[in-house]
Amino acid sequence: MADEQTQELQFAAAQMQILPNGDSHFPKEDTDPADETGKKKKKKKKKGKPGAVGNKDGRKCRVALTFTAQSDKPTRPRLEYNLFIFLHSLSAKVQTDPPSIPICELYTNGVYAKGQECEYPPTQDGRTAAWRMTNEEKKCLDQANEELWSDFRQAAEAHRQVRKYVMSWIKPGMTMIEICEKLEDCSRKLIKENGLNAGLAFPTGCSLNHCAAHYTPNAGDPTVLQYDDVCKIDFGTHINGRIIDCAFTVTFNPKYDKLLEAVKDATNTGIKCAGIDVRLCDIGESIQEVMESYEVELDGKTYQVKPIRNLNGHSIGQYRIHAGKTVPIVKGGEATRMEEGEVYAIETFGSTGKGMVHDDMECSHYMKNFEVGHVPIRLPRAKHLLNVVNENFGTLAFCRRWLDRLGETKYLMALKNLCDLGIIDPYPPLCDTKGCYTAQFEHTILLRPTCKEVVSRGDDY
């Protein structure tokens, strides 16, 4: 009997796409745990003794097998179901609550969960791109970059777990500093921060209401999250400079639901349209059409949801959050095409205001210019600050709070000097008209040779 159970388990496992980290996906055929004969009449089932499956660490996972009364053997669909449920414990630890175990220690075999894999959209002449998923050359190219994709997936899993944690406690009455520091502390643990090899990709954006982007509190900021606020949570993680740029919007008052629905739908439209050889301007036109089809009623007045035309998605490079190409969210952009192997942040912003943003409020975000060469620096404090930036952030964005955390003091004059020299660029908050509300949703996508992977996709959005 034991041999038969083992054979059945091996058979079921072979029919499934079982990832070494314990994730598994059912084959395309029907896997409903019903009688294999297809008869409508249900047969009584009885449970047999559970079988044991071990992992690399020698730990055992009890897999409850279900047997039919007639054959006393486990049915294949039920075996697949049992494997799907229990294989997660074979090679992965269980995350704590609150999360504290680094992602690399949860997936001890180094194989991380994939994001949402999508077939590329058809070409303009109507030809399907399904051939890419089965073409041997493309599959080999995809496999050759597996280490690269793995870095993105590890960073994406950290992002998913952090944002799930954030949604469990964020509430009105918390200060913005408290929210950001609690989020960043968790993110540092899960990504296992290690200098420039792993860490936070940019400061936590928590822009409120008419402020659409690039706001994070500086030290002493007394701002408190309110019930009627619309808060954009935009944070990033990275492994070896492979950046996950992903954002969502938090509200507590249901009157904003349509605004969030519009922006989420627009972002998903942009993701659906994106692909190899797709023109960036075509994506923007599709996004605008979807977003402007929504209206939101606030305090008795109806507003059309407008895309913020001077905010865009963008390509992502190694240690470079904006790598050169922009993905517009309105029609009329460049006809530049997306290319195989590129990585993009597809993000959209919707507004009840004018749909245009401008610099406003105190600056908190800064980033070293990626292309800057050697520039003579006279101020000793500026030289010191640049060394601190190079050692801790490189060309990734940072904020004043992070300099405070490193023990830096009285650095504002040195920071201004580096900005004046063009070595560091300031990124002040971007705001629409006061009194309006803005929302944002964003995902990172990989344009792999075989398919498009929405690597930051989760159960939440």
- pLDDT, tens digit (0-9, with 9 covering 90-100), for 183-200: 999 999 999 999 999 999
Residue with tokens 């997306």: 338
Q: Is residue 52 scored above 50 in pLDDT?
A: no
In degrees rounded to 5, what are phi and psi of residue 401?
-55, -35
- CB 369, CB 425: distance < 8 Å: yes
Report d(CA 171, CA 314) in Å as an integer: 31
What stretch of H or E contains 403?
A: helix 400-405
The percentage of residues in the chain with a pLDDT greater than 70, rounded to a whole number, is 80
Higher pLDDT, 280 or 44: 280
Catalytic residues, which ones?
A: 234, 245, 314, 322, 347, 442
CB-based contacts of 32: which residues, under 8 Å, 6+ apart? 77
Mean pLDDT for 201-221 is 99
70-74, 159-163, 177-181: range with lowest mean pLDDT? 70-74
CATH value of 116-362+429-454 in 3.90.230.10, 3.30.70.330, 3.40.1160.10, 3.40.50.720: 3.90.230.10
Annotated binding residues for substrate: 214, 322
Mean per-residue pLDDT for 152-171?
Answer: 99
Domain ranges across the chain? 2-91, 116-362+429-454, 365-427
Per-residue pLDDT at 48:
42
Known binding-site positions for a divalent metal cation: 234, 245, 314, 347, 442
pTM: 0.82
Distance of alpha carbon 457 from alpha carbon 461, whole angstroms: 6
Q: How far is CA 19 from CA 76, 114, 135, in A?
A: 19, 10, 22
Residue 336 has pLDDT above 50, yes or no: yes
Question: Is domain 365-427 given the CATH code 3.40.50.2000 in the classification?
Answer: no
Average pLDDT, stretch 197-217?
Answer: 99
CA separation for the pair 97, 188 (Å, rounded): 16
